[in-house]
Structure 1
Amino acid sequence: MNPHTDPLSELVDWLGLRGRMDLHCLFGEDWAAPHEAIGPWRAPFHIVLRGRCELWLPESRTLVPLEEGSLVILPRGSAHVLRTAGLQGEGRAIRLRTGELLDLKTNLKRPEKADTDILCGEFEFPGRRRSVLLEALPEPMVIAFADRPGFAWLEGLVRLMAEEIAQQRAGAGAIVAQLSGTLFTLAVRAHLETKPELTGVLGLMASPRLAPGLRAMLTQPQEPWTVASLAERCHLSRATFAREFTRRVGTGPLEFLTTLRMELASRLLAQGGQGAQDTASIAEAVGYRSEAAFNRAFARHAGITPGRFRRAGAGKMEP
């Protein structure tokens, strides 16, 4: 663990995030584009470059208006529909055209006349059994960046991606894929800056009083932390620290620490190649002196032993 890494960077690194852009949508009037559920470890995203539309989540019966210059991410991959605002019925037929860089969906004979321009992609988090970061994000997470001067950096990234897609110059595919991964971290950071009442690990990040405790857990998970020693890091009494931590997260500090340790262990177990650690080394890295005790804790967390988890392969794990 790098002691100078901030909590968001550390948790994103644990996700093993892969991002990609795979669809360009150009729509005229009266359209509806349904998307099936793909979660929990795949998260679709949509960027409204031009026009406006609405997002409908049938399971939660949530309707969200989306303005031009908005990014929407569904961290848990819920089924959803993007559509013309106020549309009644199915709308005009949408055709799919295969493209060199991105496929195109449109309901127009001349897509260049479109009123609505949307880029669609997906984030993947392979080999996950749990992520405290994903669990803390709302479904959906909407970032309206066009009208916020403070989010010029996010808008700049989106415009760069759109320009690469439009120009299709050499290396555009690799550039867009790499920027798609960056987009996730920037979106979470923007969410942190716009939502003062946060829960879970985001609530800890946003709390100046509790953040030092979170940072200690992430950078030194092998240490024999107690509630008292974590409270000391935060310059709080044991009782005050435990109370505020539980109010923010919903669980006690040591229970949360165990979850973080098991999440890190999943990441280390999923790493293949010559640099892969053995189970005993991973147990020690996440604070267990006994490999047997680590095996029991991991099985309770993941429903599978560390050995079976590793043999299954990160990219083949079931949720």
Structure 2
Amino acid sequence: MDPLSDVLSLLRPQNYFSAGTTASGAWSLGFPDQAGTIKCGAVVTGACFLAVAGGGSVYLEEGDAFLLPSGRDFRLCTDLARAPVNAVAMLKRQGHRAGKGGIAHFEGEPVPGQAVAPVSLVSSRFTLADKHGHLLLRVLPPIVHIRGGRQSDLRWAVERMMRELRDPQPGGFLIIEHLAHMILVQALRQHMQDSRSTSIGWLFALTDPQIGAAMSAMHEAPAQRWTLATLAAQAGMSRSSFAQKFKETVGSAPMDYLTRWRMLLAAERLAQNEDSVSVIALSLGYSSESAFSTAFKRIMGVSPRDYGRQPDAFSIPPPQQLLPAT
């Protein structure tokens, strides 16, 4: 797989709720904190403000999409000064619950002498694997604003989801679930492109043709005996130029990145108790179990055998010690 698919597979994003919302008049809907989740949504018609607690606000126009990776309180509204109505309570009154979507309707206050266009949105919530969620969440700002008009695939998925929610059909649950994942990945792709010249980290480095090629090679064959020279060859660069550019783009040295990625793969397999330490060591390119164990303890802070016995008892090290981001 490619590096983004690899990391998302490790994070196991699970779409546990997708729904549509329509609102008319002057309105403000408040959504409470849901730590550990990532919210993904888009405006199908109309326009409104999106504000995140401690994270600023943006104006969403028709076709715009957004990601909210912080799990903080947020509001959708026609006026930032308007006091919000609890959206969760509103959804419950209309019979919505986690795992069951549909379209919620909210009638705001009429605005005398002013026509306020109705707004319709679709949104999905995802949970991420507890131990690895920070690998993605840390590289994203409180609000990722994807402006519409450029991503036809994203817009198609958004409009199709609204149709599925509005007119339920057999098999609709699976279609909505797949569309939610598609919207998430498309939004991440666009954010990568928009921010690659101003951000440092593994996510944005993937858009660089040279560094992205080397990272893809590492992810495709983590067990290969990579050296600085062979990775530089993948990028079509000299060793010194490659090492400098990788550090500047990713935030860590190439071999450090490779070791950390290997240890994340090893931790996942140890947690699943599928293979022995020696088998995992060989599968990740280590000629001896002792060399692998030394590297694992240096990165993860615990021996692989201890981690494998009680994976839930140990915390994954801080993000800056794993896949870096600035």
Would the aligned equivalents of 1:127 and 1:313 in 2 still touch at CA under 8 Å? no
SS where residue 117 of structure 1 aligns? strand
Would the aligned equivalents of 2:49 and 2:80 in 1 still touch at CA under 8 Å? no
Inter-partner Cα distance in structure 1 for 2:272 and 2:161: 30
Question: Structure 2: which amino acid aligns with 1:83?
Answer: L
Provide the residue aligned with 1:69 in structure 2.
63
Provide the residue aligned with 2:119 in structure 1.
116
Question: Structure 2: which amino acid aligns with 1:241?
Answer: F
Report the count of equivalent residues.
302
Q: 1:7 to 1:109 in 2, by over 3 A?
A: closer
Q: For 1:47, which of 42, 48, 56 is the aligned residue?
A: 42
Calculate the TM-score normalised by the size of structure 2. Answer: 0.79
**Runs of 5+ unmatched residues, structure 2:** 110-115, 317-326
Provide the residue aligned with 1:153 in structure 2.
153
Question: Structure 1: which amino acid aligns with 2:234?
Answer: R
Inter-partner Cα distance in structure 1 for 2:34 and 2:315: 15
Inter-partner Cα distance in structure 2 for 1:243 and 1:313: 36
1:57 matched to 2:52? The reply is yes
Q: For 1:35, which of 15, 20, 32 is the aligned residue?
A: 32
Inter-partner Cα distance in structure 2 for 1:82 and 1:47: 14
| Amino-acid identity (%) | 26
SS where residue 209 of structure 1 aligns? helix
Calculate the TM-score normalised by the size of structure 1. Answer: 0.80
Alignment of 1:210-221 (within 5 A): 210-221=211-222
| Deviation digits for residues 120-179 of structure 1 (CA, Å, limit 9, x no counterpart) | 22122225336645543343222223x22xx11111111111111111111211221122
Would the aligned equivalents of 2:278 and 2:289 in 1 still touch at CA under 8 Å? yes
Cα offset, 1:302, TM superposition: 4.1
1:25 matched to 2:21? The reply is yes
Q: 1:154 to 1:71 in 2, by over 3 A?
A: same
Cα offset, 1:227, TM superposition: 2.1
SS where residue 221 of structure 1 aligns? coil
Question: Structure 2: which amino acid aligns with 1:82?
Answer: R
Q: For 1:84, which of 71, 77, 84 is the aligned residue?
A: 77
Question: Structure 2: which amino acid aligns with 1:279?
Answer: V
Would the aligned equivalents of 1:26 and 1:104 in 2 still touch at CA under 8 Å? yes
Question: Structure 2: which amino acid aligns with 1:9?
Answer: S
Cα offset, 1:23, TM superposition: 3.5
**Runs of 5+ unmatched residues, structure 1:** none
Larger displacement relative to structure 2 (242-251 or 92-101): 92-101
Inter-partner Cα distance in structure 1 for 2:229 and 2:314: 37
Would the aligned equivalents of 2:10 and 2:132 in 1 still touch at CA under 8 Å? no
Provide the residue aligned with 1:285 in structure 2.
283
Provide the residue aligned with 1:11 in structure 2.
7
Inter-partner Cα distance in structure 2 for 1:171 and 1:25: 21
Question: Structure 2: which amino acid aligns with 1:125?
Answer: L
Provide the residue aligned with 2:184 in structure 1.
184
Q: What RMSD over aligned residues (CA atoms) do the two structures have, in Å? A: 3.1
